Amino acid sequence: MFNWFKTSILMAGIVALFGAIGMMIGGERGMIMALLFGGVMNVFSYWFSDKMVLRMYNAREVDATTLPYLYNLVRDLARRANLPMPKVYVIDEAQPNAFATGRNPEHAAVAATTGILQMLSERELRGVMAHELAHVKHRDILLSTISATMAGAISMLANMAIFFGGRDEQGRPANPLVGLLVALLAPLAAALIQMAISRTREYEADHGGAEISGDPNALADALEKIHYYARGIPMPSAQAHPETGQMMIMNPFSGGDITQLFSTHPSTEERVRRLRAMVRR
């Protein structure tokens, strides 16, 4: 129930941001058009955002025949978590990463890069996929997928402000700096909405994933390895869709988080510390 409340707040906040950008671009008429666009995007995101994200990364679905190693691993973890079997996807990227998506546990999917399959041991990979299934179990996946899709739409709308400029209340052209200001601040505002809930969600998924796999050290070891190697291995498809970085088990941008305030994920060191503490307890 709380996640539905968070999702509603997120949707309302982003639609309001759409309206504000529309007002800056085209006055009252622009605000109405942007609000309508934001409402349609909310509905569209609810039903189709998971397919959009998977398509962004050219993810291909696998099964027990095409990739039994990963599929059977996920199936075993889903049973342990008392979850329906999600669809399983692979992304042809060298960077080690993974994410979950979908609107609910009955329509969920988990995706892993070829890099993470090659880099992690089976034990470590179980820890990572258990983390993603914890997102599914906590119903975080709708929240993260919608926020990623809507943030991308806001960035697109903000870019329009550069070309069309701002308008005053009478619809007359305003200072051209207004359009530039909107283009810079709107994506930042969308990112802050995402970050407001993202870090707490990651801690909860770490804890839940450790319980599902029964091995907190496995996820801790995997996070340390991903953190070390991901810095030196770019993820080109993620660079084209930076708004989806908060969906990953670790943000795919090595230099994207200037300060912890603007980080979509908690520090790897703190995540590992909490997981190691679970073992000691």
pLDDT on residue 141: 79
58 dihedral zone (left: phi>0; alpha: psi -120 to 50; beta): left
Written as six digits, the tokens of 150 are: 């809507």
pLDDT band at 6 (very low <50, low <70, confident <90, very high): low
pLDDT on residue 189: 67
Domain count, the chain: 1
pTM above 0.85, yes or no: no
C-alpha distance from residue 161 to each of 67, 70, 150, 192, 193 (Å): 46, 45, 17, 20, 20
Q: Look at 195-204, 207-216, 266-275 and tell me which has the smallest mean pLDDT.
A: 195-204
Q: What is the CATH number of the domain that holds 199?
A: 3.30.2010.10
Q: Look at 127-136, 158-167, 214-223 and tell me which has the smallest mean pLDDT.
A: 158-167
Q: Is residue 212 part of a domain?
A: yes
Percent of the chain with pLDDT over 90: 41
Written as six digits, the tokens of 156 are: 């697109």
Give the residue, 187 or 53, on which the prediction is more confident: 53
Tens-place pLDDT, residues 45-72: 667 778 888 998 999 999 999 999 999 9
132 is catalytic: yes
Burial zone of 40 (CB within 10 Å; 0-12 exposed, 13-18 middle, 19+ buried): exposed
pLDDT on residue 89: 98
Give 248's strand partners: 99
Tens-place pLDDT, residues 39-49: 777 677 667 77
Residue 213 above 70 pLDDT? Answer: yes
pLDDT on residue 131: 97
Measured in whole angstroms, how far is the alpha carbon of residue 208 from the centre of its chain?
18
Residue 73 above 50 pLDDT? Answer: yes
Residue 259 above 50 pLDDT? Answer: no
Give the residue, 110 or 10, on which the prediction is more confident: 110
The range of the structural domain enclosing residue 219 comes to: 54-146+178-280
Residue 124 above 50 pLDDT? Answer: yes
Contact indicator for 219, 131 with CB cutoff of 8 Å: yes
Residue 261 above 60 pLDDT? Answer: no
* Integer Cα distance of 119 and 171 in angstroms: 56
113 dihedral zone (left: phi>0; alpha: psi -120 to 50; beta): beta
Contact indicator for 232, 143 with CB cutoff of 8 Å: no
pLDDT (average), residues 179-208:
73
Written as six digits, the tokens of 102 are: 């979908």
pLDDT on residue 28: 73
Q: Is residue 152 part of a domain?
A: no
Give the residue, 79 or 12, on which the prediction is more confident: 79
Contact indicator for 170, 27 with CB cutoff of 8 Å: yes
Q: Is residue 271 part of a domain?
A: yes
Residue 277 above 90 pLDDT? Answer: yes
Choosing from 124, 132, 202, 243, the catalytic residue is 132
Q: Is residue 76 part of a domain?
A: yes
Written as six digits, the tokens of 216 are: 């907190």
pLDDT (average), residues 26-35:
73
Q: Is residue 48 part of a domain?
A: no
pLDDT on residue 115: 96
Q: Are strands 98-102 and 108-113 parallel, antiparallel or unpaired?
A: antiparallel
Q: Is residue 46 part of a domain?
A: no
The CA-based diameter of the chain, rounded to the nearest angstrom, is 65
Q: Is residue 196 part of a domain?
A: yes
Q: Is residue 107 part of a domain?
A: yes
Mean pLDDT, the chain, as a whole number?
Answer: 80
For 102, the 3-state DSSP assignment is: strand
**Angle separating helix axes 141-164 and 122-137, nearest 10 degrees:** 80
Residue 258 above 70 pLDDT? Answer: no
